[in-house]
Amino acid sequence: MTDSHGRHISYLRISVTDRCDLRCRYCMAEKMRFLPRNQLLSLEEIALIADRFIERGVRRIRLTGGEPLMRRDLPDLVRRIGRHLADGGLDEVTLTTNGTRLADHADALADAGVRRINVSLDTLDPAAFAHLTRGGDIASVMRGIAAARAADIRIKINMVALRGINEDMILPMLRWCDAQGHDLTLIETMPLGDTGEDRSDHYLPMHEAIAPLRSAHAITPLPSRTGGPARYFSVEGMKARLGLITPLTANFCDDCNRMRLTCEGRIYMCLGHEDHVDLKGAFRTGGMAALDREIDRALRAKAPRHHFEIHGDGTQGATVRHMSVTGG
């Protein structure tokens, strides 16, 4: 699949639920209104739509949320999609999770073909974690990480850099990741949805976020990519790779290879735009032929870039929908 700007689309991110058991301050409001369950795609529909994307050239699928492990029988969906790993139709099926339920599902995910996951973890301090997540227990996340390691699933930690909240914890997180055998990706906060707080208060440009790292370790660019937007670096004296995702300070849209399927069956061609096509309606009324027509329409409509900006006087390019709707 190729969009109207000549970019090859090989990566599909699927949000299987907009629900989450945490309320991270940069992601959600404290009180959220989630979609009624009867508006969601069934797991069978998700699997069939994923099948069609794979037939059309998608090579990587990431399951996201909300918190994807809140979706009942998620391992069944992973097994259904993961069968394409054996026949060569798919290179990878992965997962992004907050880790709170991972201990109960790690073995099943590994059995279904998941070989690596991203765990969202913005601090190692239990009190800071509870504050940032509005009540979360970091012990459950650590149990989940341990279970995934025991199941031979590789782990990358995703950490959103936040001024005044965790900027002094970035170097300790990197050193912890190195000791544990994990890679670390740092992410600039993105203006998605109303969280009840002013993002400009906590926006931390990446060059500032990594300044303490650069003062302690030489950082060298690496050519390797994992299919997503992160640029990777080696860190002097460490085995852990450092990834940087910079939607505001260094736009990465020129080589975008992604589309996002929401749990209610919408394709968002870009995380930073509200434009979408309704695959659920097309599939339920017209089957695979209608699904293909809407996928083609999505490819033609994919924007050249997003327009996220955060300034002291406000946020530009913000979307109404929260991150949990389209998935991280």
The answer to whether residue 110 scores a pLDDT higher than 80 is yes
DSSP state of 167: G
List, as residue ranges, the binding site for [4Fe-4S] cluster: 20, 24, 27, 253, 256, 270
Angle at 42 between CA 40 and CA 47, to 5 degrees: 125
The whole-number pLDDT of residue 4 equals 86
The whole-number pLDDT of residue 313 equals 47
> pTM for the complete prediction?
0.89
List, as residue ranges, the binding site for S-adenosyl-L-methionine: 26, 66, 120, 190
The answer to whether residue 314 scores a pLDDT higher than 60 is no
Question: 314-316 and 309-311 as β-strands: parallel, antiparallel, unpaired?
Answer: antiparallel
pLDDT bin (cut points 50, 70, 90) of residue 225 is confident
> What's the rounded mean pLDDT across residues 96-119?
97
Measured CA distances, 227 to 11, 30, 65, 231 (Å): 7, 32, 19, 10
Residue 163: is it exposed, middle or buried by C-beta count within 10 angstroms (0-12/13-18/19+)? middle
Q: May I ask the CATH architecture of the domain 11-326? A: Alpha-Beta Barrel (3.20)
The whole-number pLDDT of residue 232 equals 94
The whole-number pLDDT of residue 273 equals 67
**Adjacent-strand bridge partners of 15:** 64
List, as residue ranges, the binding site: 13, 20, 24, 26-27, 62, 66, 96, 120, 156, 190, 253, 256, 258-260, 270
pLDDT tens digits for range 11-66: 999 999 999 999 998 888 888 888 898 999 999 999 999 999 999 999 999 999 99
Residue 115: is it exposed, middle or buried by C-beta count within 10 angstroms (0-12/13-18/19+)? middle
Q: Domain limits of the chain?
A: 11-326
The whole-number pLDDT of residue 324 equals 54
The whole-number pLDDT of residue 220 equals 96
Question: 11-15 and 258-261 as β-strands: parallel, antiparallel, unpaired?
Answer: parallel
% of residues, the chain, pLDDT over 90: 69
Interatomic CA distance for residues 45 and 287, integer angstroms: 11
The answer to whether residue 195 scores a pLDDT higher than 90 is no
% of residues, the chain, pLDDT over 70: 85
The whole-number pLDDT of residue 301 equals 86
Average pLDDT, the chain: 88
pLDDT bin (cut points 50, 70, 90) of residue 316 is very low
The values of phi and psi at residue 319, to 5°, are -105, 155
- Which range is least confidently modeled, 9-18, 99-108, 195-204, 219-228? 195-204
The whole-number pLDDT of residue 258 equals 85
pLDDT bin (cut points 50, 70, 90) of residue 250 is low
pLDDT bin (cut points 50, 70, 90) of residue 320 is low
Number of other CB atoms surrounding residue 301 within 10 Å: 16
The whole-number pLDDT of residue 157 equals 98
Number of other CB atoms surrounding residue 24 within 10 Å: 20
pLDDT tens digits for range 148-184: 999 999 999 999 999 989 999 999 999 999 999 999 9
The whole-number pLDDT of residue 25 equals 87
